[in-house]
Amino acid sequence: MQFPENVTRLCGSRKFSFGCHAGVKCFTECCRELELSLTPYDFLRLRKNLALSSADFIKQYIVIEQEESDVFPCFYLGMVDDGRASCPFVGPAGCKVYEDRPGACRAYPVGRGAMLGADGRQQEIHVLVKENHCFGFEESQSFSVAEWFHNQGLADYNTMNDEVMSLLQHDQIRQGARFSPRQIEFFLLALYKLDEFREFVSGAEFPARFKIAEQDRQAALADEKSLLEFGIGWLIKTLFDEG
């Protein structure tokens, strides 16, 4: 695989030097001019941090786009029109949503690519992205990918993103399956409108209509992460007529 000049593959336990803190001269420079797409779990964490409903979060912060070649709509964090296209959450003291910042912000300068192989098994690659504006590479600490991901609290993000991948890279999509407006509504509901999905799942007719056991429904309603995990599985069953 050919990478751009500033991108190198990271294999195994190979280490890289990196540090990011308020003392670096480029502090917050990377929080501007971004095309930051949000996974459903990024969306969940940010929305909870801001204590907003899904509808209000979308209205205030999200740009939804769907190119002709996209199977599903994509959610992007809208940048601020301040002449620098800043992230809406960056301030002089750094990230205002640091505890719940998106997975891509946590992983940077590492990029993670995960895909399902033809045999259905997951493959994962990691790359190091060196951008001119970033002086973090001059810091003395060094990390392997596993150490960096642990340091940045990425475990839940990667797990949840991999679950979404089993939907987005489903065999039927690779074979050309496309969806009706009603099915796209289900996609948005289960992945990005969890407060509305909760009401839908709580409805009296839900278990019989979708053949869901009551105990599974109650487990799904326990918290938002459980509801999202349930929603991913429910979408796979519903969109691909499985089970």
Chain positions contacting ligand SF4, by CB under 6 A: 20, 24, 26-31, 34, 87, 89-90, 95, 97, 101-102, 105, 108, 133-136
What's the closest the beta carbon of residue 63 comes to ligand SF4, in angstroms? 14
What's the closest the beta carbon of residue 145 comes to ligand SF4, in angstroms? 16
| Contact of 76 with 142, CB cutoff 8 Å | no
What's the closest the beta carbon of residue 173 comes to ligand SF4, in angstroms? 29
∠ at Cα 57 (228, 220), nearest 5°?
Answer: 15
Q: How far apart are CA 55 and CA 48, in angstroms?
A: 13
- β partners of residue 124: 114
CB closer to ligand SF4, 138 vs 242: 138
What's the closest the beta carbon of residue 36 comes to ligand SF4, in angstroms? 6
Q: How far apart are CA 142 and CA 71, in angstroms?
A: 39
CB closer to ligand SF4, 192 vs 230: 192
CB closer to ligand SF4, 46 vs 160: 46
CB closer to ligand SF4, 44 vs 227: 44
CB closer to ligand SF4, 12 vs 23: 23
What phi and psi, each to the nearest 5 degrees, are found at residue 69?
Answer: -85, -10
What's the closest the beta carbon of residue 35 comes to ligand SF4, in angstroms? 11
What's the closest the beta carbon of residue 139 comes to ligand SF4, in angstroms? 8
Q: What is the DSSP string of 108-169?
A: TTEEEEEEE-TTS-EEEEEEEE--TT--GGGSS-EE-HHHHHHHTT-HHHHHHHHHHHHHHT
Q: How far apart are CA 16 and CA 180, in angstroms?
A: 46
CB closer to ligand SF4, 90 vs 232: 90
Which uninterrupted H or E stretch holds 91? strand 90-91
